[in-house]
Homo-oligomer: A and B are copies of this chain.
């Protein structure tokens, strides 16, 4: 198995696509426009093997390159044709799912005018979608749909009106009295509160699960978690308090007073991806009286030691869910710099043996990217609020 040489922190907190680890086959000429292209744009395209082909018009440019993923492994140098368009195809197939990327045009960073933009790496980036074999679970189907709504809530602690998005499940508006449990769901470093609906399709995943009777209808709340400035490598000195104050003291009361929620501890969950998992662990462990379900998606691990240090955990926490993309587990084990490496799977197994409802999920053939997290939400949601 090829080891992916990333630093421990990068493995945990940075988004990075990884080329599928296969010898390059012949490229099949069945390229189609990516599903996240701008309306009417023919490029970029993806073929049935997962190769991506780019085409960018810049007739007087000297050099056009594509940066796709950590260390540029998905990077592609484009070649100018007689028509002034720069084209190129990735050297190998990309992993299935969503990848952020951008262009370098004559030394400047620009987005591909062919694609929609997605907030990642603290900027709006281009995105490409390599169709996944299991894409049906997050497809837009003719089923009853919940709504995703922007709310603006007052935050005295930060002196701002802050934004969150709230998914209300199908039937929420029609039923005038029913109350619903709530999942607080956090994005990763460099992303924002738009990520879970835009890149993650959280609403469609829930619509489909609910239509199939596989998940209990619940509300999802997504807000901005980078209340502090966080830089890669600085997370272990991260002060969670400012964001915890926004979430626990300001957002939760706002949601409970403006939506028909079940507002007791057994009906509140928190989960997050990457940095959002890190935040989830800090906030839920410090507020066991407020959260009954915990999900860390490519965002850390929960050990027996963590639980033993947290009074009330075993009584009050109904689920400790930890997931990763399989490629994240191929690299060095993650953990704080200098600390002994931790094996999240072993932690999860030990936790289960100690009597905690510990669930460990690995997304096949994906890295620290959104297909891992779409799948993780799809695994997590059916386990929530099953009281």
Contact = CB atoms under 8 A, between A and B. Distances in A.
Interface of A: 38-40, 56-63, 84, 103, 105-111, 113, 116-117, 122-124, 140-142, 145, 147-154, 161, 166, 168, 173-174, 176-177, 197, 203, 257-260
Contact of A106 (B103, B105, B152): B105
A149 B168 CA distance: 10
Contacts of A57: 107-109
9 contacts: A58-B108, A59-B108, A60-B107, A61-B62, A111-B111, A145-B153, A147-B150, A149-B150, A173-B259
A105 B110 contact: yes
Given A147-B150, A174-B257, A259-B173, A110 B107 contact: no
B107 A116 contact: no
Nearest to A176: B176
B124 A116 contact: yes
A108 B61 contact: yes
A110 to B, nearest CB: 4
A209 to B, nearest CB: 16
Contacts of A149: 147-150, 166, 168
Contacts of A113: 108-111, 123
Given A40-B122, A106-B59, A113-B111, A161 B140 contact: yes
Listed from nearest, the 8 A-B pairs whose CB atoms lie closest are A149-B149, A58-B108, A60-B106, A145-B152, A61-B106, A59-B107, A110-B110, A60-B107
A40 B229 CA distance: 11
A15 B218 CA distance: 42
Nearest to A172: B258
B173 A161 contact: no
Contacts of A109: 57, 113
A23 B56 CA distance: 40
B151 A107 contact: no
A142 B123 contact: no
A105 B105 contact: yes
A110 B62 CA distance: 16
Contact of A62 (B60, B152, B154): B60
A260 B173 CA distance: 8
A247 to B, nearest CB: 18
A149 B161 CA distance: 17
Contact of A108 (B40, B56, B151, B176): B56
A107 B58 contact: yes
Given A111-B113, A161-B142, A259-B173, A38 B123 contact: yes
